[in-house]
């Protein structure tokens, strides 16, 4: 699965793809297919902290974070994340969203929702349905896609901050950025994430691969 993520990420307009892990078995697997992996400390509380450990040593300005459970990550989605950071120095952090698909449950806490201001910056992320549909003709709910782009300095700053109250309440790490006043540009995308988090997800992923 990690190899699928790696090879699809490498198809994006990026300078390098690095697998960050604290497991030597994963390092060995990545190096076995010719990829680049860095062994990090094992005491990181979040993936952001693990990413920051490596970013602190790199001479880069933009860092894209793709989870290792996204074997079908669209390279175009990675390019969408990077573009605002490359072209606008004022942008500190980016992420993606998409419309709800037919049949998806807006009540599901597993589908994180996001609302934005008129400039496309995140106002809030929640596992609850937002915005509340009290009147017709308002904003439609949007699904947050958990991939991120960072200005390197912003990533290092985030990793230095303690967890915040809203972050703890929702168990959504991106709320730490908002609670500290770090703006997040939320970009519309057609990418539908297929994360592999359960045995059923793995079975679905294997069927998808066999159909390609």
Instruction: Work out the average pLDDT over 60-85.
Output: 94
Tell whether 30 is covered by a domain. Answer: no
Q: Quote the strand ranges of the chain, DSSP E.
A: 19-21, 37-39, 62-65, 93-99, 113-116, 122-126, 142-151, 185-188
Helix H or strand E segment including 170: helix 165-170
| In-domain check, residue 18 | no
Residue 76 phi/psi, 5-degree rounding, is -65, -30
Give phi and psi for 78, each to the nearest 5.
Answer: -65, -40
pLDDT, tens digit, 9 for 90 and up, residues 102-148: 999 999 999 999 999 999 999 999 999 999 988 888 898 999 999 99
CB distance 64 to 148 below 8 Å: yes
Q: Is residue 34 part of a domain?
A: no
Is residue 16 situated within a structural domain?
A: no
Closest residue by Cα to residue 94 from 75, 113, 122, 70: 122
Domain-embedded: residue 49: no
Give the pLDDT mean for 162-186: 97
Model pLDDT, residue 194: 73
CATH number of the CATH domain containing 150: 3.90.550.10
- What is the number of domains present in the chain? 1
Mean predicted confidence (pLDDT) in 53-79: 93
- Bridge partners of 113, per DSSP, are 126, 143
Structural domain span for residue 178: 64-211
* Residue 196 belongs to some domain of the structure: yes
Task: Dump pLDDT digits (tens) for 194-205.
Answer: 766 666 666 665
95 domain-assigned:
yes
Closest CA to 142 of 154, 130, 159, 150: 130
Find the helix or strand (DSSP H, E) in which 49 lies: helix 47-55
CA distance 182 to 84: 15
pTM, rounded to two decimals: 0.91
Residue 187 in domain: yes
């Amino acid at each position: 699965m990690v190899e699928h993520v790696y090879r699809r990420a490498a198809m994006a307009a990026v300078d390098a793809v690095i697998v960050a892990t604290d497991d030597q078995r994963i390092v060995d697997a990545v190096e076995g297919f010719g990829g680049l992996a860095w062994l990090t400390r094992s005491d990181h509380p979040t993936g952001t902290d693990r990413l920051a450990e490596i970013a602190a040593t790199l001479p880069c300005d933009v860092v894209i974070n793709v989870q290792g459970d996204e074997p079908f990550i669209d390279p175009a989605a990675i390019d969408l994340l990077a573009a605002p950071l490359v072209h606008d120095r004022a942008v500190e952090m980016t992420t993606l969203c998409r419309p709800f698909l037919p049949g998806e449950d807006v009540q599901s806490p597993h589908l994180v929702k996001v609302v934005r201001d008129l400039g496309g910056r995140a106002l809030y992320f929640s596992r609850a349905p937002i915005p509340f549909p009290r009147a017709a003709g308002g904003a439609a709910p949007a699904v947050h896609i958990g991939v991120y782009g960072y200005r390197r300095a912003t990533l290092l700053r985030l990793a230095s901050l303690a967890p915040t109250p809203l972050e703890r309440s929702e168990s959504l790490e991106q709320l730490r950025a908002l609670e500290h006043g770090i703006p997040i540009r939320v970009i519309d995308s057609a990418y539908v994430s297929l994360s592999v988090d359960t045995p059923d997800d793995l079975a679905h992923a294997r069927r998808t691969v066999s159909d390609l």
